[in-house]
């Protein structure tokens, strides 16, 4: 059944949100994140210190979209106020691997004794530190930080080999300070 729907998200004091034609810009002490949320049936506006999404005669599709927009905006607000961090561990048995970051290029050397280093391009706007066998990724954008972590993990994959035996690689061990099982 179609009903009118109205959802609010309170904006913290040190956060500034602007809306320009579906482009949401969230600014805070840790940086700035931009993202486009546009649907002709959903109206978005800033009312005082709250962000309001409204839809007249909303179907379940609009309800899902509004809840998704709110979840993304909560992540954006958390990112610009506290930041998002991922921690990865370099695990190597026989051949010691070394990792380095030069600009937006991540380089993995001596993976299973390979002579040619493996490289991948990382998303911009992240602070990446390699500290011994740990890699720490920090940034305001959760999607960019998680994409960088997954690209590093995928770079050290060996398709066609048994994962139970060949366990060397880079693995995510913490997401936003919480350990990964």
181 residues of the chain, pLDDT tens digit each: 788 999 999 999 999 999 998 899 999 999 999 999 999 999 999 999 999 999 998 999 999 999 999 999 999 999 999 999 999 999 998 899 999 999 999 999 999 999 999 999 999 999 999 999 999 999 999 999 999 999 999 999 888 888 888 889 999 999 998 999 7
Q: How many residues does the chain have?
A: 181
Which pairs count as long-range contacts for 157-164, CB under 8 Å and 24+ apart, including other chains? 158/112
Phi, psi of 102 (to 5 degrees): -125, 100
Task: Say what angle helices 60-81 and 142-155 make with each other, to 10 degrees.
Answer: 80
Q: Give the integer Cα–Cα distance in Å for 28 and 138.
A: 15
- Six token digits for residue 151: 């690209």
CB 87 within 8 A of CB 153: no
At 136 the pLDDT is 97
At 128 the pLDDT is 96
CA angle, 171 then 174 then 177, to 5°: 165
CB 134 within 8 A of CB 90: yes
Domains of the chain and any CATH numbers: 3-81 (3.90.930.12), 84-179 (3.90.930.12)
Task: Provide the whole-model pTM.
Answer: 0.88
How many other β-carbons are positioned within 10 Å of the β-carbon of residue 43? 12
CB 83 within 8 A of CB 139: yes
Which pairs count as long-range contacts for 111-117, CB under 8 Å and 24+ apart, including other chains? 111/156, 111/168, 112/158, 112/166, 112/168
- Six token digits for residue 15: 């956060």
């Amino acid at each position: 059944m179609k009903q009118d729907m109205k959802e609010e998200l309170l904006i913290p004091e040190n956060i500034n949100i602007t809306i320009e034609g579906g482009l949401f810009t969230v600014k805070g002490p840790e940086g700035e994140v931009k993202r486009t949320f546009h649907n002709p049936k959903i109206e978005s506006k800033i009312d005082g210190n709250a962000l309001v999404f409204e839809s007249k005669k909303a179907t379940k599709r609009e309800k899902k979209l509004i809840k998704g927009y709110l979840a993304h905006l909560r992540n954006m607000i958390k990112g610009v106020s506290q930041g998002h961090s991922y921690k990865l561990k370099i695990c190597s048995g026989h051949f010691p691997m070394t990792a380095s970051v030069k600009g937006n290029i991540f380089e993995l050397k001596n993976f299973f004794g390979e002579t040619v280093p493996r490289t991948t391009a990382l998303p911009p706007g992240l602070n990446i530190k390699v500290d011994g066998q740990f890699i720490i990724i920090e940034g305001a954008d959760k999607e960019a930080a998680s994409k960088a972590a997954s690209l590093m993990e995928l770079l050290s994959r060996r398709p066609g080999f048994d994962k139970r035996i060949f366990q060397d690689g880079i693995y995510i061990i913490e997401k936003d300070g919480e350990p990964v099982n």
